[in-house]
Structure 1
Amino acid sequence: MTDIATAPATTATESGADSKAHGVLLTDTAAVKVKNLLMQEGRDDLRLRVAVQPGGCSGLIYQLYFDERLLDNDATVDFDGVEVVVDKMSVPYLDGASIDFEDTIQKQGFTIDNPNAQGSCACGDSFH
């Protein structure tokens, strides 16, 4: 299991492939970044796991990490060679969410635009 980042809840601007199994979308920009990170890992058995965990100022945080495991009841969608996995508990929290990657002078990292998030904390690392 390789940690990528804890992504803040922010807005994505592109839309990627259509998702059918879990409702999470991965933009083309994010898919390219994930592929590059997977190539750096030098392994072809890893998936991008997206999860919602208790924590942070507002109650919930996003977790994005590479995982070799595929658990019972995991929902998966392939985005042009990038398999995105969401556990059963996280699916309702992430339905309709879009994952993007920003690389600007001000910010670099994955962002998640989640229509289910009712608010976030001042630091932007958690939501409710």
Structure 2
Amino acid sequence: MTTSTTVQTEQTPAEAHGVELTEVAATKVRTLLESEGRDDLRLRIAVQPGGCSGLIYQLYFDERTLDGDAVRDFSGVGVVVDKMSAPYLSGATIDFADTIEKQGFTIDNPNAGSSCACGDSFS
């Protein structure tokens, strides 16, 4: 079992959000961006209505910074959260798993009261 730690290198209080990014996830994001030859993208996490439990996560690369976005830097990886999603994501941790059972980004969210069987949505 691999233990991940969260590494934050810079934060501006006016722009802060409560999402954490583990070093394992930050490394994976950097690797993906390097393979695409992009250094202008940030990892955006958002919450949208949908799924069988009511809300779904969206995790994607974005070059934009929109009005009201909060941005934090984790070892050179920018993580962006929009102002509507921030309350749902405060305290959440993004990690990356690469095991025989699971591969991909995972989100541990203490604000999720329940989730569906597939784990793709929450309420």
The list of structure 1 runs, each at least 4 consecutive aligned residues, that deviate by more than 2 angstroms after superposition, is: 17-20
Where does structure 2 lack aligned partners over 5 or more consecutive residues?
A: none
| Equivalent of 2:42 in 47, 60, 65 | 47
| Equivalent of 1:38 in 33, 42, 46 | 33
Alpha-carbon RMSD:
1.2
Q: What SS does structure 2 have at the residue aligned with 1:76?
A: strand
Residues 36-115 of structure 1 aligned to structure 2 (within 5 Å):
36-115=31-110
Please, what TM-score do these two structures have when normalized by structure 1? 0.87
Q: Is the 8 A contact 1:15 1:25 kept in 2?
A: no
Where does structure 1 lack aligned partners over 5 or more consecutive residues?
A: 1-12
**Which amino acid counterpart does residue 100 of structure 1 have in structure 2?**
D
Aligned-residue identity in percent: 74
Please, what TM-score do these two structures have when normalized by structure 2? 0.90
Identify which of structures 1 and 2 has the higher relative contact order when contacts are C-alpha pairs closer than 8 Å and 6+ apart: 1
Compare CA radii of gyration and give the structure with the larger one.
2
Count of aligned residue pairs for this structure pair: 116
My pick for the range that moved more, 16-25 or 33-42, is 16-25
Task: State the shift of 1:64 in Å.
Answer: 0.6
